[in-house]
Chain A
Amino acid sequence: MAGRTLEAALHLLDRQLVDKDGRLAGKVDDLELEFPAGGGPPTVTAILAGPGALSRRVGGRLGAWVEAVTNRLRDGDDRRPARVPFAVVKRINSAVELSVARAELETNRLEAWTREHLIGHLPGAGDAPE
């Protein structure tokens, strides 16, 4: 496979995440990097997505507020942002295509919460369009 140089900030950050069924699964809000013990360039180990990751990029009072709200909505004491292991990335074009369904991703937590507590209760929520 011919090498294609990607610039992390340009070709990954803020791109759309698309799951294996073509459903939209959030944006690449941040990247988890690992620095090899012996030195050398870092490798991307995971995509961080969702308000937990975005809030740290926004920073300041607004970022702290978003992060607090996100943590409040979450079950348990887990404070880290939603993580998508880089191993499930299938292809990188204008969007980042994943090889799993979005229901299996941590980034789907708020979406699932909204469905479970709000939208799922509305009449017609499960109706397929014509």
Chain B
Amino acid sequence: MALPTLLVLGKLGLAVLLVGFFAATFGAALETGLSCGYSVAQYFGFQWGKFVRPADAPRFHLVVLVSILFGAGLVLTTIDPITVTEYSIVLSAAALPLTYFPILVVANDPDYMGDKVNSRFTNALGSLYLLLLLVVAVATIPLMVLTKAGS
């Protein structure tokens, strides 16, 4: 992508592109690192978030740092990042019912939802969507194998 840009837009264009590369990867690294921190901290009940001092949420920040280092290490193995992305998207689609179903259960819990608890109508819609997700989850792995992950 860098070479055609150099040909068409010249050196200045290339500089802009490199800044763009840096911004995109830097932002994505922060986002995925934070996301790992949030998930792990929420699961174990650690204090999390950027609204407290890092010293007040030490385990959350430790998970964020370790995930960023792990991600950098993974890229440094020279594995093809596009392949990693394709497989992780397919696997996350296969896991969708597992994340969606607990949310549907919580949406029916008056302890958490108060008067916003799901009605029969929203439960019907939610269950319909769960069915759709189940179809997607069941189909996604065989499709990945059959199409060799779209190659």
**Chain A residues close to B by CB (< 8 Å):** 11, 16-17, 23-27, 49, 93-94, 102, 110-111, 114-115, 118-120, 122, 124-129
Q: Which residues of A contact B56 (CB under 8 A)?
A: 23
Q: Are B46 and A24 in contact (CB under 8 A)?
A: yes
Q: Are B59 and A114 in contact (CB under 8 A)?
A: yes
Q: Are A114 and B58 in contact (CB under 8 A)?
A: yes
Task: Pick the contact of B58: A25, A102, A115, A128 (CB < 8 A).
Answer: A115
Name the segment of B5-13, B47-55, B93-101, B128-136 touching the other chain: B47-55
Instruction: Taking A126-B55, A129-B51 as given, write out 19 further A-B residue pairs in contact, using a Cβ cutoff of 8 Å, ordered by the A residue number.
Output: A23-B56, A25-B47, A49-B45, A93-B111, A94-B109, A110-B59, A111-B58, A111-B59, A114-B58, A115-B55, A115-B58, A118-B58, A119-B61, A119-B62, A125-B54, A125-B61, A126-B54, A129-B52, A129-B53
Q: Are A118 and B62 in contact (CB under 8 A)?
A: yes
Complex Cα spacing A94 to B55, Å: 27
Q: Are A119 and B111 in contact (CB under 8 A)?
A: no
Complex Cα spacing A11 to B111, Å: 9
B110-128 CB contact bits vs A (8 Å, 1 = yes)?
0110000000000000000
B41-73 CB contact bits vs A (8 Å, 1 = yes)?
100111110111111101101100000000000
Complex Cα spacing A85 to B55, Å: 26
- Whole-angstrom distance between the Cβ of B147 and the nearest chain A Cβ: 35
Task: Pick the contact of B53: A26, A102, A125 (CB < 8 A).
Answer: A125
- Whole-angstrom distance between the Cβ of A42 and the nearest chain B Cβ: 23
